[in-house]
Structure formats: structure tokens, C-alpha cells
Amino acid sequence: MKVLLTDQAFPDTDLESEILAESGHDLIVASSPEDVRKLAPEADAILNALAPIGADLIAMMTKARIIARYGIGVDNIDVEAAASSGIVVTNVPDYCVEEVASHAVAMALMLLRNLQRADESARAGQWGVGSVRPLHRISTLTVGLLGFGRIGRLVATSMASFGCNILVYDPYAAQIPGPFQRVDQDELFTRSNILFLHAPLTPETRGIVNEAMLSKLPSEAIVINAARGPLVVLDDLVAALRSGHLKGAALDTFPVEPLDPNLIADVPNLLLSPHTAFYSEEAIKESQLKATRQIVKVLAGEPADYPVKAVTSP
């Protein structure tokens, strides 16, 4: 059968080709969005990274039985349209949990200890704590988690190890284990000294961190986003940093990527990484392996390990 790769996110597709060939399938790599539209009608399965797969493209997939995405989020895929067409959508929800959680925590610690400024001062021969004041003991701070999936849970556990009080807002989480405290959205924002975003991008969460919600955060709070860029209204976040209401922010993802550097020029206390939180060599291989195996299983008539359902309000 024919497996169409819509866009190539990794250095090579040797692993995918090998796995598919063992089951008698051929991998076809599209070279452009136009190529995807040309090849989609004849594809039995779709392997996807970042390319958008909307209802119009899905309507052309008359043979496809599965759309397998390499990553966690599926906001680039119209899951409802796929379901209506009888197409299974899968993701790889557990491939970079350690990487994203450690990246988010590292960003938070860097801001909390003002390490950027400390490094600049040491290099300039400015000794002592004057350049990094004020700093506060981490155990005195309250951490808020917007989203409590695999990554959010690991971040919560990591920050709890420093003695932080942990608050969680996630209407989809069945249980919040002690000593973590479930709160509503308003309480999360009004009490969090450190706000970690680990929610999926849905109509409900798009722009959830906006001017109104940022104003609820305690003075000198910090915001960490290693989830989905559009969770944050970037202009509102920049304004809160410039005004001094926020102590700092760290972003790995952005509403539009790559980021226009002019949008964040000279913004104080803003730590950036270019959408790298997911990355380790091990994570990439795991993503390739698991996404491709979903295709093999579904084409063989077996159930997928990671079927995705359309998100509905609780």
C-alpha cells in the first residue's frame, strides 16, 4: 500500500521506509503542498509532521484509512472531518515528555535565578548579587499548571521537589493527585507565581493567556510556554513584560513560526528557544518509530495504539 509523507521534519526517512517495507508498503515523500494534493487521493495512509490537513484535503483522501502524526498536538489536522470520513487519526503522545518537561523547568529555573543577568554580569567583571536582585527562595512560590497531561504531571512533580505549592487547572483531568490542588481558571491565574502552559491548542484554549488573564497574575510572576504558541497572545505578553507586571517569560513556541525577531526586540526578561523543547535524538527516533507503527497496525486491520478523538467541552 502507499503511505504518503506530507512533510519531512527529520533528517531522513530511513527508519520509516524500513518499517513500512517490512510490511510490504511503500513510502512516498511529497515535495510540496501541491504534491500532497496530487498524491493524497491514491494514498492508503498519511504520515504527517506540520503540514495542515484540513477538511478539503481529507475529502480528497478516498482511500486513506489513517492519518498518523509524528508529534503530540493534532491542531493542524481536522480530526472531526477525518472521523466523518472513517479515517483514524493518531499521534505520539508520549515521545518527548521528558524533553519538554525538563526544558520547561530549566527555563523556569533560569528566570527564577536570573541566570541570564548573572552570566552577563560575571562576563563584565561585575561581582556580587547586586545585578540579580531580588531573588526569592523557590520553595516560597506557588506553581500553576494549565494542563495536566503527561508533561504537566512531570513538571508538577519536578517543581514540587523544590517545595513549591502546586495548583492545577485542567477540566479534562479525571483526578489530581495529592498534594497538588485542583483550582478553577481564575484562581490559577490569581495565585500562580510561576505559570506553566501544558494544554493542547483548541478553540477553547487559543489565546487563553491574554491581557485580561495576565493582569490577574501576581506582580512579578513568570510564564513558561513550551506547549503551543497560540495559547499566548504574544502582543499582550510583551506588553506585560515591558510594563514590569511580569518578572519574566520563557517561550519555546510562538503563534507564527519562525518568529519575527522584530516582535520581541528589546523586550526585557524574555527567554526564548526556537521550538526545540521536544528534541533529543532519542525522542526523534521514538516519534518516527511509533508514528510509522500506527500505520502498519491500522493497515493490517489492527487497532491503533494512540487514536485521537475530537476535543469537546467538558
E strand map for 121-202? 142-146, 165-169, 181-182, 194-197
> Residues 214, 237: contact at Cβ < 8 Å?
yes
Q: Establish whether 182 is a catalytic residue.
A: no
Amino acid letter at 1?
M
d(CA 100, CA 155): 9
3-state secondary structure at position 244: coil
d(CA 211, CA 234): 10
Backbone Cα Rg of the chain: 21
3-state secondary structure at position 100: helix
Q: For 40, which DSSP code?
A: G
Q: Out of 69, 153, 228, 293, pick the active-site residue.
A: 228
Q: Establish whether 282 is a catalytic residue.
A: no
Q: Establish whether 99 is a catalytic residue.
A: no
What's the gap between Cα 100 and its chain centre? Answer: 8
d(CA 267, CA 290): 39
d(CA 25, CA 46): 12
Q: Out of 18, 257, 282, 302, pick the active-site residue.
A: 257
- H/E stretch holding 294: helix 281-299
d(CA 161, CA 149): 18
Amino acid letter at 52?
P
Q: Which residues are identified as catalytic?
A: 228, 257, 275
